[in-house]
Amino acid sequence: TQKGSMKPVKKKKTEEPELEPLCCCEYIDRNGEKNHVAACLCDCQDLDEGCDRWITCKSLQPETCERIMDTISDRLRIPWLRGAKKVNISIIPPLVLLPVFLHVASWHFLLGVVVLTSLPVLALWYYYLTHRRKEQTLFFLSLGLFSLGYMYYVFLQEVVPKGRVGPVQLAVLTCGLFLILLALYRAKKNPGYLNPASSDRALSSSQLELLNRKGQEKTKGFPGTDTSGSLNNRTAKDDPRGSSRMPAGSPTKAKEDWCAKCQLVRPARAWHCRICGICVRRMDHHCVWINSCVGESNHQAFILALLIFLLTSVYGITLTLDTICRDRSVFTALFYCPGVYANYSSALSFTCVWYSVIITAGMAYIFLIQLINISYNVTEREVQQALRQKTGRRLLCGLIVDTGQYNRAHL
């Protein structure tokens, strides 16, 4: 045969066995095996061992508890098209515990004091527990959204039928609720993540290795570092929007803002979020209430969501107190409303009012801190960094921290 007539021999591709489609109740578990929703309580040795030790009054090892929780979170699923979907276990506690606690608190005044005092304590304990482990959780997002929905439900069921709330007032409150959800949806979008693939000036492989090696060596004990293995010495002259201001041939200079986790040179005021696992432009903080970072792209939507929530919450509290405690001012009715526990409907409404007051006070504090930081053109992350390094200047009994690094004239 002539060379021109020779055709390249095509190699036969090895045919991979096709997986059978999953029904609505089947799923692939964490071990890579097909499982069924109906078998969620089968073949769980860790759970059996834990129950046996609990019955015999023996202590459980922390590793056993973690394995039990991993198994429960893997098997907690709902039937769905093309396979059962996994449900995050942190969503469930607020949906169950919040109505129970509020109904128990409405039985008596002392029960209300105990329950409404313990709720913020439990929430703070869970926050510090997850924050210390650097884990993402949907608990606070679920708690916030369910609180909005449940407060609105109680308002419709217990307050509106009393006849003191007009259709215009109800429409205003409903519009406020929808605006809150819209602002939260916008705030939960991309806060300004830095994508290594979109960097305009990519460094060579040798420079990457040099930066990684030097960054890991000098991270330990360096005053301007975080735990992600990256140095944080920045100057105010850096461009806040450029993905890389360092020349490609200067790895010594570029290592100052090099993130070993994301493999990129960060712009000024960008930080690596250890919970999200990615760098964010002008990162302010990681907000557990939206389960996302607050950065350059969603900071305004976050402030707007706080403002609309505060206005809507105060308006709803005013309407409720005017209905269940007539002929009294809002502030007086909040602390002195005789006969409110004589009727279970008014008692539940009054309990929900105090729960809303606690949540509103917390959000008002966050809103105040955000306004102060904006007026001084600092982010919460920069404030915490300045306090740790003792480079910031405390004002107004520590409520204001001036880092003195960036211009205060603009956001």
Distances (CA, A) of 46 to 63, 87, 342: 10, 21, 49
pLDDT at res. 404: 64
Catalytic residue among 276, 279, 287, 352: 287
Alpha-helix residue ranges (DSSP H) falling in 24-108: 45-55, 62-75, 92-105
Of 217-226, 311-320, 352-361, 375-384, least confident by mean pLDDT is 217-226
Of 182-191, 311-320, 363-372, 387-396, least confident by mean pLDDT is 387-396
Q: Reply yes or no on whether 287 is catalytic.
A: yes
**48-100 tens-digit pLDDT:** 777 777 787 777 777 777 777 777 777 778 887 778 887 888 888 899 999 99
Flag whether pLDDT at 245 surpasses 60: no
**164-213 tens-digit pLDDT:** 899 999 999 999 999 999 999 999 888 888 876 544 444 445 444 554 55
Distance from C-alpha of 330 to C-alpha of 242, rounded to nearest angstrom: 51
Domain residue extents for the chain: 26-87, 91-190+297-376, 379-410
Distances (CA, A) of 148 to 24, 72, 97, 143: 32, 28, 15, 9
| pTM for the full predicted model | 0.75
User: Mean of the pLDDT values across residues 213-222?
Assistant: 46
For the chain, the straight-line distance linking the first and the last C-alpha, in angstroms and rounded, comes to 76
Average pLDDT of the chain is 78
**113-171 tens-digit pLDDT:** 999 999 999 998 888 888 777 778 889 999 999 999 999 999 999 999 998 899 999 99
Contact 207, 252 (CB under 8 A): no
